[in-house]
Amino acid sequence: MQDNGLAYRLALGVAKKQTNQKAHGHYPAPIRAIEALRAGMLGSAQAGFTAESCAVAELAEHPVTTELMRLFFLREDSKTPPRDLTLPIRPDSISNAAVIGAGQMGAGIARLLAERGIWVRLKDVKPEFVARGIGTIRKLTNSEVRRRRMTELQAQTLFDHLSPTTDYRGLRHAEIVIEAVLEEIPIKQQVFRELADATSPSTVLATNTSSLLVRDIAAGVPHPERVVGLHFFNPPHQMPLVEVVRTDQTSPEALATALALVQRIGKTPVVVRDCAGFLVNRLLTPYLNEVGYLLAEGAAPMDIERAAIGFGFPMGPIELTELVGIDVAAHVAENMHRAYGSHMQPAGIWGRLQELRRERKTGSEKLIEQTWRGRRLNPFFRHALAQVRKGNGGHAQAFTQEVLIQRLVYPIINEAARCLDEGIVERPEHIDLAMVFGTGFAPFRGGPLRYADHVEVASIVETLDRFAADHPRLAPCEAIRRLAATNQTFLEPVPKAPSAAVAC
């Protein structure tokens, strides 16, 4: 393409269009980079260098740069142990581990450990279950090799570190065992009782539960102080966050070992206190609940999706609900309702939609389809939604994007205030880190608490009070009311954007 101005313009135009489609205008740096290329390719080398210098100077003080740098330092700071943990975190101390349960999550966790050079026993109750787990690992690893993200030698070394089994032999040498079986308390308690007999007294026993209380799982273990939660997010090879869950009985040694493992495999740990849903799922539940209420009230599904993506979420909440699984999301929502009461009452619309799906035998159809014209509502979903609304006496109505965002995001902030008040995390910054790395909450906004401070807490409380007149579940909690009443922020004051652009 040398000296071909038309080709340059075409390539740069395509690059800019693709960048805008992915970044939705939230990240200025890629566009400025393209503009610097344009100046150099269509002008002169000096013009390109000047444009680059100007872009760097201006972007260095841009609010998005500030938020992304803050998240980077928060991630680095996550390697620092909690204030009350005086033991050192030694990632190199983890050399042997085991994973119980060779399903999708268990296999993914075992692969992560083996890839980092940890010797792993992968156990399940039947040979075919173990074989399926190894097959899952092989499929993912082969894909990585094809994409040249891993060499053949690295892949072979990974499998050399895996040892499939159907019994508990060889677990006494493990520094840590991670349970990843079905989300049912009796099954998990039985596994932990068996692990207590099969492992060394110093072996840390970790559960990957996402919705059960760690203390309930540890109830039948002779030494519950060695039990922790390690909540990996799905898929574990892609999601950077791991919630490290401590109970009131968890020993410093067990916590230090769990943190060492998370650091060893290159993940970002956030230490949380044991509670229903831990941190991320607890904050995500009111967000997903509110989608159901908005749909029942007449909000257009695609308006909700566009509002969430426009705000900065990687996908809309309806697509996320379907990705998680409507039945799974409904089950988690019921657990949260039992644990926290009326403000977590789930919307009934999802259960009714699932009933209609089963009646029409359309369970495999997606609620939102991708067509050559773009994303659109599945005709079944449109018809079913109309039926559900008719049954509730509702009808389609328009919501502004601002109201949709307030209904979706403000409940997250409200619940975050409760978590801080209960001491679920040590620092408010951990909430921002967990939500960005665990859910994809708009990184350029810095996280829900950073966003709340930007909007102003008093404004959020006023809006929630207005919503609560019709929807009592949205009433502001006492913790966020106290902040608003004293004109406080969750975090340090938000830096102001530069008053004037750098002259170039």
User: Annotated active-site positions, please?
Assistant: 231
Other beta carbons within 10 angstroms of residue 220's beta carbon come to 16
Q: In what order do the strands lie in the sheet with 204-207?
A: 162-165, 119-123, 96-100, 176-179, 204-207, 227-232, 241-246, 268-273
Q: Which residues contact 379 (CB under 8 A, 6 or more apart)?
A: none
Strand duo 241-246 + 227-232: pairing:
antiparallel
Alpha helices in 376-424 (DSSP H): 379-391, 401-422
**What residue type is assigned to position 143 of the chain?**
S
Closest CA to 386 of 399, 397, 376: 397
Other beta carbons within 10 angstroms of residue 121's beta carbon come to 22
Other beta carbons within 10 angstroms of residue 482's beta carbon come to 15
Beta strands in 274-342, from DSSP E residues, in sequence order: none
**C-alpha–C-alpha distance, residues 249 and 271, integer Å:** 15
Query: What angle in degrees, to the nearest 10, is found between the helix axes of 349-360 and 326-340?
Result: 150
- With vertex at residue 456, the alpha carbon angle to CA 452 and CA 462, rounded to the nearest 5 degrees, is 100
The answer to whether the CB of 275 falls within 8 A of the CB of 247 is: no
> How far does Cα 165 stand from its chain's mean position?
31
Q: Which two tokens stand for residue 366?
A: 């997606």
Is the C-alpha dihedral spanning 225, 227, 231, 237 positive or negative?
positive
> How far does Cα 105 stand from its chain's mean position?
15
- Report CA Rg, the chain: 25
> How far does Cα 418 stand from its chain's mean position?
19
For residue 365, what are the β-bridge partners?
none
Q: Which two tokens stand for residue 138?
A: 């092989």
Looking up tokens 């075919």 gives 128
**C-alpha–C-alpha distance, residues 214 and 192, integer Å:** 11
**C-alpha–C-alpha distance, residues 445 and 439, integer Å:** 13
Q: How far apart are the first and last CA of the chain?
A: 29
